[in-house]
Amino acid sequence: MAAKTDDSGPVLPAAIESAWGLRERPPKGPRPGMSVPAIVDAAVRVADADGLAAVSMSRVAKELGAATMALYRYVGSKDELLMLMVDAGYGPSPGPPAPEDDWRAGLTRWAWAEHEVLRQRSWLLHVPISGPPITPQQLGWMDDGLRCLDGTTLGEGEKMSVLLLITGYVRNEATLTSQIAEGSRAAGVDPSEMMPAYGRLVARLIDPARFPALHRVLSAGVLYQDDDPDDEFVFGLDRILDGVEVLIRRRAG
Amino acid sequence: MAAKTDDSGPVLPAAIESAWGLRERPPKGPRPGMSVPAIVDAAVRVADADGLAAVSMSRVAKELGAATMALYRYVGSKDELLMLMVDAGYGPSPGPPAPEDDWRAGLTRWAWAEHEVLRQRSWLLHVPISGPPITPQQLGWMDDGLRCLDGTTLGEGEKMSVLLLITGYVRNEATLTSQIAEGSRAAGVDPSEMMPAYGRLVARLIDPARFPALHRVLSAGVLYQDDDPDDEFVFGLDRILDGVEVLIRRRAG
DNA sequence: GCTGTTATGCGTAGACCATACGCAGAACTA
DNA sequence: TAGTTCTGCGTATGGTCTACGCATAACAGC
């Protein structure tokens, strides 16, 4: 029992309170001309159109026809806005697993759902996330993912670890894919030519004696072909789920 | 046969050339007062001491007793400097696997080596990586990792995919760990109190009916305990390696 | 209806940031 | 010695976030 750890706990950042709808409007003063959701929507619109780098306070304000500093009445800082953007950008969670899905089908569907979101909004990957998820939609995703593992023999801690493993994988894969896409756009190269060009570059730089295994990979033509990114995604996901399956079987006895 | 695709290929960014030691000094003009390695070292020193956010061109220049704009004679942009910082920050690769190590022991050692680097230089995780690895040390790490899979039945493409899977996992795990550490430092909370505080916060926010699986995890006390991050790391790594093992066995017949 | 309180919108300004450009001078070649 | 070329770097531009403070709008209580 600590001295003053009231049930209300430490003060929440304003952004979290408004994300959960815990902010009641004070009865006095002029009526607000904007709202947090409107600001977040505008910011998401900017990010969708021109990328995360285009999201500045002044740009978002311009989008709303407001002055830059007016935004700071609604969000405490740009970081708070980014956090709310992530929440909105992910959108609603994909929902609980279908009854006919076993854990593996459920998690596969869940992973694909996140994959799809990140493919369409690759700016989500550029937001410097600053802590564990705390916003409503993010926790909704988490809950839906955990439910996929409900029927298994895993402990609660293990379920959480498995979910972390999978969402980490999805994010990582999406990051690599979007980097190739962005890199090709920046270099003005056709996306399908990006990996082959990378392979040729590496081949030109490395000394086969110093990088034997890498040289072998290059000789096999691995980097030259422009393989379907979805195949790569499926490969890694299947490896991870195989590993989870080993654990589940072991726990089951 | 494309028209003008000379073997020299497209022009390399200056930073890549200097990273590979391909830049010969022109015979004329004053002798340079600095060098690319000296600049990169200074930048790494700043990042080690005060984090990546403290790395500005003027700060690095101050560290060297030079003027800000002098740096631009050596690196083409800040992004180039960041790329060289990553290369230097990772340091030399851990070396090829020991002869007595099988693929699993080798990859485990390799993953721990990267884990250790990222633990000590968490700013590496904050550098917005803008493409596949192309610098010498990074390719060295890649080569050493690939060598661990030399004796296996996997195809060259599969080896690369497995390595990507593992390095992605290590980076992701390190990101989560360092976020907790940075978050606790920012909030002025003891790091060991961070996860419990997070658990209490989530418990306060969620409605058990809307987040049943999450509620169950919380009830089990999963988030309240401050478990050893290394245990979490080992758990995920073992799942992935189990999955890889399934594939290797299947390929072996 | 009047008055006091309080919240809002937002203008100004400060402290940073990366970097384009151009000039003075150093170090080499011929 | 003259010419060339490269270095160091001062200046300036245009961008960023945000602290601060003022005028004003809207309500509560009398």
When CB atoms are compared, the residue of B155, B161, B172 closest to A236 is B161
CA distance B95 to chain A (A): 11
CA distance from start to end of chain A: 41
- A125-135 pLDDT tens trace: 999 887 889 99
The whole-model pTM stands at: 0.91
Short-list A32, A96, A162, A14, CA closest to B169: A162
Chain A CA closest to residue B236: A165
Residue nearest to nucleotide D5 (CA to C1'): B29
Short-list A168, A194, A46, A189, CA closest to A114: A168
Short-list A205, A129, A202, CA closest to A167: A129
Short-list A124, A136, A123, A162, CA closest to A22: A136
Tokens of B68: 């800000």
**Per-residue model confidence (pLDDT) at position B190:** 87
Largest CA distance in chain B: 76
**Per-residue model confidence (pLDDT) at position A13:** 73
**Per-residue model confidence (pLDDT) at position B235:** 96
CA B237, distance to chain mean position in Å, is: 16
B28 touches strand C (CB under 7 A): yes
Tokens of A198: 């990378």
For A243, phi then psi, to 5°, come to -65, -40
Show residues of chain A in contact with B159, CB under 8 Å. Answer: 213, 217
Consecutive 10-residue runs of chain A (253 residues): their mean pLDDT? 37 76 75 90 97 95 94 93 96 96 98 98 91 93 98 95 97 92 83 89 94 96 83 96 97 83
**Per-residue model confidence (pLDDT) at position A115:** 98
Do A63 and A45 meet the contact criterion of CB atoms below 8 Å apart? yes
Do B169 and B240 meet the contact criterion of CB atoms below 8 Å apart? yes
d(CA A163, CA A168): 8
**Per-residue model confidence (pLDDT) at position A225:** 78
Which nucleotides of chain C does any protein CB come within 7 A of? 4-12, 16-22, 25-29
Helix (H) or strand (E) holding B120: helix B103-120
> In a 3-state reduction of DSSP, which class is residue A132?
coil
Q: Does residue B246 carry a pLDDT above 80?
A: yes
Residue nearest to nucleotide C4 (CA to C1'): A28
**Gyration radius from chain B CA atoms:** 23
d(CA B19, CA B137): 9
Chain A CA closest to residue B150: A213
B58 touches strand C (CB under 7 A): yes
Short-list B28, B50, B232, B222, CA closest to B123: B50
CA→C1' distance for A212 and D9 (Å) = 45
At residue B117 the predicted structure's pLDDT band, cuts being 50, 70 and 90, is very high
| Contact yes or no for B129 and A172 at CB 8 A | no
At residue B11 the predicted structure's pLDDT band, cuts being 50, 70 and 90, is low
**Per-residue model confidence (pLDDT) at position A9:** 43
Residue carrying the six token digits 């700016």: A123
Alpha-helix residue ranges (DSSP H) falling in B98-211: 103-120, 136-148, 156-187, 191-205
d(CA A156, CA B46): 41
Do A169 and B162 meet the contact criterion of CB atoms below 8 Å apart? no
CA→C1' distance for B12 and D8 (Å) = 25
| Contact yes or no for A236 and B165 at CB 8 A | yes
A112, B153, B156, B245 from B249: Cα distances, Å: 27, 8, 16, 6
Short-list B109, B234, B97, CA closest to B152: B97
Q: How many CB pairs under 8 A join A and B?
A: 194
Q: Which of residues 105-164 of B touch A (CB under 8 A)?
A: 126, 128-132, 134, 139-140, 142-144, 146-147, 150, 155-162, 164
Give B239's Cβ-side CA count (13 Å radius): 28
